[in-house]
């Protein structure tokens, strides 16, 4: 009851307006149906601190680590905890420090995306079996809720994990020494693959499918389709849906995920370069650099210019179809999804046919698979080169192995360089 205080209610006329516009192939903010909002990734000065905006939705993620005793069921694995906080800054009905249905749901979806898919190699976080492992804590603070928190949070989470570096630990048999960042170069996490969530909202029982819903669209939609790519898996809620539509949307999501992951990798690489150059980093630099943003929402501008837009709609349609064709072509080259497994009422899993390690994903309700069917196709000692790795498909992994050797050499050179500088 209390959580409904201050919550904005979507009126019937808003709903009708939105649906009517969709029938005319327009969205309120002028995007095409399969167009996503712009992603911006900024890193803070601390390792693993990442500020992501997806349009106007903004999220801050921070990874921190400490040494803990491992779980007795998994004595050789590190621990990853994901904690999403709906900060009251994001929307007035969010309450500080209290779990709501939304936060629990988002938390679980992110856990599925990052933890259950084993994106982070937890075994490399083990210091001593049964006694000491690194426990990672991923804190995600939602700062501005303008729809599609999940996509934004998953991008921030992944970027923060890929950016984070833990302190080095050495052991002399008895004692463990944790080296500070200054004493020894910190070690990045091993990211085995890069899963991101891609959300589509569904209107009128599958008639309209919108990518990256904004707040109003999110409130009106009768279902969501969330994909987390890499281990292609979808959930489908509350609505009967045709199989071909699911396939089509998943394919689109796959190509989108690729661009998102590329963006994250580029951002991290850029940050690493700047750190090597010893450029002063941090949010304060970003604030100084950018001119003051216009505080008026895009939406209101869009609505002000409504009549103008309407006339242009013919041209837009052409663009849209062209774009779609492109995307579909791209997809047919990249991922082929064919099988659908029913998991229960209202949910289904998509299994990629072409990958031979097909069972990379296990349905979450069959968690008794302790024998680790997970195919770990990355060789173990790649710790230092994660951010360059690309674990899309098996073919690409071959490339990684080569890249790995190369980068190792390069790194050796770098190290000697650093040594000489130090001396």
Partner 1 sequence: MEKPQLSCKLGILSRPDGSAMFCEGETTVIAGIYGPVEVKMQKVINDKASVECSYRPKSGLPGIEDRLYESLIRNICETSLMASLYPRSAILITLQEMHDSGQLISCAINAACLACLQSGIDMKFMFGAVTCFLTKEEVISLMPPISKSDVKALFVFVFDNAAGRIIASHTEGSFSEEQYKEALNLGREESKNVFIFFKKTLVGINSC
Is residue 68 at the binding interface for partner 1, with CB under 8 A as the rule? no
**Are 78 and 124 contacting, i.e. CB atoms less than 8 angstroms apart?**
yes
Q: Residue 410, SS3?
A: helix
Instruction: Please report how close the Cβ of residue 60 comes to partner 1 at its closest, in angstroms.
Output: 6
Question: Does 2 contact partner 1 by CB under 8 A?
Answer: yes
Is 145 a residue that touches partner 1 (CB under 8 A)?
yes
Least separation, in Å, of the C-beta of 173 and partner 1? Answer: 30
- Triad 282, 214, 34: Cα angle to 5°: 100
Q: Using CB under 8 A, which of 12, 73, 295, 420 touches partner 1? A: 295
By CB under 8 A, the residues from 156 to 215 that bind partner 1 are: none
Please tell me whether residue 287 binds partner 1 under the rule CB under 8 A.
yes
Q: Taking CB under 8 A as the rule, does residue 38 contact partner 1? A: no
Contact 136, 120 (CB under 8 A): yes
Return the residue of 27, 31, 37, 56 that touches partner 1, per CB under 8 A. 56
**Interface pattern 246-285 for partner 1 (x via CB under 8 A):** ------------------------------------xxx-
- Residue 33 Cα distances to 104, 207, 275, angstroms: 29, 12, 39
Count interface residues toward partner 1 (CB under 8 A).
40
CB 33 within 8 A of CB 208: yes
Report, in Å, the least distance between residue 11 CB and partner 1: 17
CB 125 within 8 A of CB 36: no
Could you tell me the sign of the dihedral formed by the alpha carbons of 372, 374, 375, 379, in that order? Answer: negative
Smaller CB distance to partner 1: residue 86 or 382? 86
- Taking the complex as a whole, the smallest distance from the CB of residue 57 to partner 1 amounts, in Å, to 9
Question: The tokens of 243 are what?
Answer: 């199989």
CA 246/CA 369 separation, integer angstroms: 28
Instruction: From 166, 324, 196, 322, select the one nearest 259 (Cα to Cα).
Output: 196
Distance CA 421, CA 163 (A): 25
Least separation in angstroms between CB 5 and partner 1: 6
Does 107 sit near partner 1 (CB under 8 A)?
Answer: no
Rank residues 157 and 350 by Cβ distance to partner 1 and give the closer one. 157
Mutual orientation of helices 243-276 and 149-163 as an angle, nearest 10°? 40
- Report the interface residues with partner 1, using CB under 8 A: 2, 5-6, 44-46, 49, 51, 56, 58, 60, 62-64, 85, 87-92, 96-97, 137, 139, 141, 143-146, 282-284, 287-288, 290, 292-293, 295, 297
């Amino acid at each position: 009851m209390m959580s409904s205080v201050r919550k904005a209610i979507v009126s019937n006329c808003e709903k009708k307006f939105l649906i009517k516009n969709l029938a005319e192939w327009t969205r309120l903010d002028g995007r095409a149906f399969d167009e996503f909002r712009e992603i911006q990734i900024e890193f803070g000065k601390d390792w693993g601190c990442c500020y992501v905006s997806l349009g106007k939705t903004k999220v801050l993620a921070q990874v921190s680590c400490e040494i803990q005793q491992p779980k007795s069921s998994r004595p050789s694995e590190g621990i990853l905890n994901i904690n999403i906080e709906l900060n009251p800054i994001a929307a007035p009905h969010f309450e500080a420090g209290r779990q709501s249905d939304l936060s629990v749901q988002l938390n679980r979806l992110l856990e599925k995306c990052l933890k259950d898919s084993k994106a982070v190699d937890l075994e490399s976080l083990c210091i001593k079996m049964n006694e000491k492992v690194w426990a990672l804590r991923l804190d995600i603070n939602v700062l501005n809720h303008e729809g599609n928190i999940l996509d934004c949070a998953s991008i921030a989470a992944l970027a923060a994990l890929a950016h984070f570096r833990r302190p080095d630990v050495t052991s002399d048999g008895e004692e463990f020494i944790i080296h500070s960042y200054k004493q020894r170069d910190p070690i990045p996490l091993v990211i085995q693959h890069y899963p991101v969530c891609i959300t589509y909202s569904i209107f009128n029982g599958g008639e309209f499918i919108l990518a990256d819903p904004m707040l109003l669209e999110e409130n009106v939609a009768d279902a969501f389709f969330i994909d987390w790519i890499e281990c292609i898996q979808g959930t489908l809620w509350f609505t009967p849906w045709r199989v071909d539509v699911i396939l089509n949307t998943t394919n689109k999501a796959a190509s989108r995920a690729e661009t998102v992951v590329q963006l994250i990798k580029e951002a991290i690489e850029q940050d690493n370069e700047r750190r090597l150059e010893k450029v002063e980093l941090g949010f304060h630099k970003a604030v100084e650099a950018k001119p003051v943003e216009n505080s008026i929402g895009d939406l209101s501008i869009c609505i002000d210019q409504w009549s103008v837009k309407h006339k242009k709609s013919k041209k837009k349609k052409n663009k849209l179809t062209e774009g779609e064709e492109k995307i579909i072509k791209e997809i047919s080259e990249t991922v082929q999804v064919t099988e659908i497994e029913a998991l229960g009422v209202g949910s289904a899993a998509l299994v990629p046919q072409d990958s031979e390690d097909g069972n990379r994903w296990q349905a979450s309700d069959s968690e008794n698979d302790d024998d680790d069917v997970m195919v770990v196709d990355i060789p173990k000692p790649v710790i230092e080169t994660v951010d360059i790795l690309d674990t899309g498909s098996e073919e690409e992994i071959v490339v990684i192995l080569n890249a790995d050797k190369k980068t190792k050499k390069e790194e050796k050179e770098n190290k000697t360089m650093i040594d000489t500088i130090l001396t």
